[in-house]
Amino acid sequence: MIAESHSRAVVLRAFNVPLAIESAPVPEPGPGAVVAQVGLAGVCGTDVHLHHGQLPIPLPIILGHEGVGRVQRLGDGVATDFTGHSLREGDAIAWSSNIPCGHCHWCVVAGERTLCETRKVYGVNQRFDELPRLSGSWADAIYLQPGSAIFRLPDDVTPEQAIALGCAGPTAVHGVIDVTGITAGDTVVVQGSGPVGIASAMYAHLAGAARVILVGGPASRLDLAREIGVGDAHIDIFAFPDPAERVRLVLDATPGRRGADVVLECAGAPEAVAEGWEMARRGGSFLALGQYTDRGPTPLNPHLITRKQLRILGSWGFAEKHYLGHIQALPRLAARFDLSRLITRYPLEDANRALADMAAGRVMKPVLDVSRES
């Protein structure tokens, strides 16, 4: 239970110093809005970058762009969730972290709401010192503004399962399913074994890949992946530090040594791209899903694009429809993989420790268990 009228909140006021818990009043939801009680809030690699000041954001903000919880109060006019299901107080819900403007070139003409330049993002660009203040999930309550895509959790999905992939879930739906389009029978390489890599590999499995080769590390992450059935083959980049050797291993594992039909880059390191291009077969596809931060140029051989007739794709974040896709896929994912094994719980007060563990890669997916300690 949260306090009747106040919510704790983990606030980022200055970069690179410990976060502190503050308090703010929980407002009544206006028309079209919803106030939710947060149950579990995810900690994401992006939160580490935000904390380090590596992205251009306003301060102060409440962190947290991933969350599941329960409806505490519905604003006027809110009777259903984003899919049309009825929505009532107490319902278990998740919500998309971002609200595109709906009016710009990208929203209306291009139909690429992920490219909207003025979209609101909870836990990233909504100021704590402006109403409604409670705009991040690292808090007892969050104020979901009108236009938020809210989803009642499917009956057979637990909050743990819903938070386990965090924003990596809808990000993978966008990149792996919508942009790249795995075809049943494909041989797929996934570069990277963090949350985005794991989510992408799961979606490759879900989409019927004949073989998923997971290239990542450290061993503990690959072991966890193996244990929950993610990946048919696993290549540890610490055991095989030579990229050429890894390319050779991948080719050995593909039909006719032709290379993979699809390579999903979820590593983030720029040098993974050159390696991935080598792993793809002629006519194959490569998705740059992990190059979120700008680390500058890396040597790449464009002759390969022409000679191999590569199809190289990029995908940035996600929009409502990708979150919807993830919600729709969750029952299948949950039935197939023990999603809850991915998460490690922390009380809200230990947000700094959760962030440090994420930064160090000590855990796969830290989750703030907001409801537990209150």
Window 231 to 270, contacts with a copy of itself (CB under 8 A)? 255-256, 258, 265, 270
Q: How many angstroms separate the CA atoms of 295 and 287, rounded? A: 18
Of residues 301 through 340, those in contact with a copy of itself by CB under 8 A are: 301-316, 319-321, 324-325, 328-329, 331-332
Closest CA to 187 of 267, 255, 276: 255
57 binds a copy of itself (CB under 8 A): no
Site of tokens 């106030």: 35
How many residues of this chain interact with a copy of itself, rule: CB under 8 A? 78
289 binds a copy of itself (CB under 8 A): yes
The residues, ordered by sequence, that sit 6+ positions from 362 with a Cβ below 8 Å of its Cβ are none
114 binds a copy of itself (CB under 8 A): yes
Q: How many angstroms separate the CA atoms of 306 and 309, rounded? A: 5
The Cβ of residue 59 has, within 10 Å, a number of other Cβ atoms equal to: 14
**Residues 20, 283, 335, 349: which binds a copy of itself (CB under 8 A)?**
283
- Supply the minimum distance, in Å, between the C-beta of residue 107 and a copy of itself: 8
Burial of 36 (0-12, 13-18, 19+ CB in 10 A): buried
- Supply the minimum distance, in Å, between the C-beta of residue 160 and a copy of itself: 20
Output 232 or 357, the one with its CB closest to a copy of itself. 232
Q: Determine if residue 64 is left, alpha or beta; phi over 0 gives left, psi from -120 to 50 gives alpha, anything else beta.
A: left
- Supply the minimum distance, in Å, between the C-beta of residue 201 and a copy of itself: 13
188 binds a copy of itself (CB under 8 A): no
Identify the helix (H) or strand (E) that includes residue 164.
helix 159-164
Token pair recorded at residue 260: 């993979």
For the chain, the distance separating the N- and C-terminal CA atoms, rounded to the nearest angstrom, is 6
52 binds a copy of itself (CB under 8 A): no
120 binds a copy of itself (CB under 8 A): no
CB under 8 A: which stretch of 159-167, 190-198, 245-253, 298-306 binds a copy of itself?
298-306
**Residues 25, 102, 229, 241: which binds a copy of itself (CB under 8 A)?**
102
Site of tokens 């490569």: 286
**Residues 57, 59, 115, 359: which binds a copy of itself (CB under 8 A)?**
115
Token pair recorded at residue 92: 């278990």
Site of tokens 């490219």: 115
* SS3 state at 38: strand
Of residues 124 through 183, those in contact with a copy of itself by CB under 8 A are: 147, 149, 173, 177-179, 181-183
- Supply the minimum distance, in Å, between the C-beta of residue 42 and a copy of itself: 21
229 binds a copy of itself (CB under 8 A): no
- Supply the minimum distance, in Å, between the C-beta of residue 245 and a copy of itself: 19
